[in-house]
Amino acid sequence: MAALVLDGKQCAKETEERLAKQVAELKDRTGGTPILATILVGADPASATYVKMKGNACRRVGMDSLAIELPETTTTEELLAKIDELNNNADVHGILLQHPVPEQINERACFDAIAAHKDVDGVTCLGFGRMAMKEPAYGAATPAGVMRLLEAYDIELEGKHAVVVGRSPILGKPMAMMMLNANATVTMCHSRTQNLADIVKQADIIVGAVGKPELIKADWIKDGAIVVDAGYHPGGIGDIELAPLYERASAITPVPGGVGPMTINTLILQTLESGLKQLG
């Protein structure tokens, strides 16, 4: 059987068309434009590219982006002051602090300084807790994008065994909580997990969120599984050995073009939702 390809690029494009209409209506009604503030600390080329892509996505739907670039030598206190300034700027509706930051900065303190109503990337402890308890919150953008992609293709999670490989605070952990909230039975695996292959073989849904190229092997994954690869590495490969699975899985997210486009798309969607609330 050929796997159903979960096309994140197409799904994001269709969503952008809808968002552009909503932004235009909001501008007509209120005269305001949703604005996403992006903070880039240092000159990491990959991070700079990601920030640029997010700004471009804002502009494609008629929103604005405020790009803030800080030097590599920025301290925690200086970054916290900038975040506080943006929290108090009524013209800014969402705040994104690009990960990672230089090592001298307390990243968690800076994430948690972002006001909850502007945490459109879902990085704060408060936002995570509210999401996990099924209270209103902006979910972490990548796992929320995965959930939207699965929903777009009517993939049911209830009662399924989902195995999430990776436990990062902005991907693996919120992914597991979102799937648990969708009534899946969830197993989380990580660098200390023993017999990883045996656990992966039990998965109805496997999520690669570990950040290591093709760590998860195709022969670990049972026929008919739903395969979600949230990794991206040079050469266009993900965290899962995908090539052999196109003929064995029931559904698969390609790399590139699967989860990646949905991450940025979810960030833009949540910024618009924040703008709608703040602009009335």
List the catalytic residues: 54, 98, 121
In terms of Cα–Cα distance, which of 196, 243, 239 is closest to 220?
A: 196
Angle between helices 259-279 and 8-30 (to 10 degrees): 10
In terms of Cα–Cα distance, which of 210, 245, 213 is closest to 227?
A: 245
- Name the amino acid, one letter, at 275: G
Q: Do 102 and 74 contact (CB within 8 A), yes or no?
A: yes
In terms of Cα–Cα distance, which of 18, 47, 40, 5 is closest to 256?
A: 5
Please, is 176 exposed, middle or buried when counting C-beta atoms within 10 Å of its C-beta (0-12, 13-18, 19+)?
buried
Q: Do 29 and 47 contact (CB within 8 A), yes or no?
A: no
CA distances from 17 to 11, 84, 125, 159, 162 (A): 10, 33, 32, 33, 32
Q: Compute the C-alpha angle 68/57/50, nearest 5°.
A: 55
User: In the numeric block, which tokens belong to residue 6?
Assistant: 């979960």
In terms of Cα–Cα distance, which of 47, 101, 95 is closest to 72?
A: 101
Instruction: Tell me how crowded residue 92 is: count the other CB atoms within 10 A of its CB.
Output: 22
